[in-house]
Amino acid sequence: MPRRTGFGRKHAAPPQWRLCVPAAPFLISDLPLITDPWFYAVAIPAVLLLGVSKSGFGAGFGSLAVPLMALAVPVPAAAAILMPLLLVMDLLSIAAFRRDLDRALLKFLLPWALVGTVVGALLFHLLPAATVAGIVGVATLLFLGQRLLFPPRREDPPPSRPVGALLTVLSGFTSFIAHAGGPPINAYLIPLRLKPVVFTATMAYLFFAVNLSKWIPYAWLGLLDARNMATSIMLLPFAPMGVWVGVRIARRIGAVWFYRLIYAGMLLTGIKLVWDGFIA
């Protein structure tokens, strides 16, 4: 009710103040993410390795990312967690190597790679990921064995276009299933003897398009759930770190060591994929 003051004026009653308690602050633990420390012990090195491989330096090692993470989570979950990270890495890679792209080669490779991703989406629930990993691992080791027993000569012709198309389809397929598209496409590109930066740039643009095409099928398959995406956010800071390290080295490395590292990465990847597919 209004009250009178000594001067005869009416004033409204003073407001009733209430204590406002702020809402609880948002905590990282509120996210529906993976909390197992063992997962992060293998996932962080896997993301860094994948980032370095995206720069071209250590190309081939990136295919080890999913097998490493599969030590802690199922392969489909590992592949889904890496999706946002791959997008960031791909954008950084194409920005770093945008002037070195072989456009004619990319124009040939891209349609076949996208065919492979479509096949991968259709067969995702029909073929066990371990079986696909084992097949890719055997093919990778056979390619390396062939290169060791029958070293290429400079006068040897490059692989034919049909062989390139087949290997690129296989690359798109294995990229969709387990982000392991590197070994098949390497088997076609290595004999072309591209300059390291041209090799890197073309691969960067190819897998940027391939990885971008996988978002809708991954969502359709139910892989992009809140838990996987929240976990991906936790790993996001490590993506540019790996790319940055790799880009700095890739522009300083000679062609001989560049391809030696690709062979080393393919060897380790092949052994790991064979182990996952047929032994473990």
* Interval 172-199: pLDDT, tens: 998 888 777 888 888 898 888 888 888 8
Residue 32 inside a domain? The answer is no
CA-wise closest residue to 211 among 96, 102, 111, 84: 84
Average pLDDT, the chain: 79
Residue 208 inside a domain? The answer is yes
Using CA atoms, how far residue 137 sits from 69, 181, 271, in Å, is 17, 11, 6
Model-wide pTM > 0.85? no
Phi, psi of 109, rounded to the nearest 5 degrees: -75, -40
The model's confidence at residue 72, banded by pLDDT at 50, 70 and 90, is confident
The structural domain count of the chain equals 1
Within 13 Å and on the Cβ side, how many CA atoms surround 93?
34
Residue 83 inside a domain? The answer is yes
**Residue 11, SS3?**
strand
* Interval 252-273: pLDDT, tens: 777 777 777 777 777 877 787 7
State the Cα–Cα distance between residues 247 and 184, nearest whole angstrom: 23
Residue 59 clears pLDDT 70, i.e. is over it: no
Residue 22 inside a domain? The answer is no
Range of the domain at 251: 37-279
Residue 202 inside a domain? The answer is yes
pLDDT at residue 106, as a whole number: 95
Mean pLDDT of 123-139: 77
Residue 272 inside a domain? The answer is yes
> What's the gap between Cα 232 and its chain centre?
11
Using CA atoms, how far residue 215 sits from 67, 204, 268, in Å, is 20, 17, 28
Torsion of CA 266, 267, 271, 274, to 10 degrees: 50
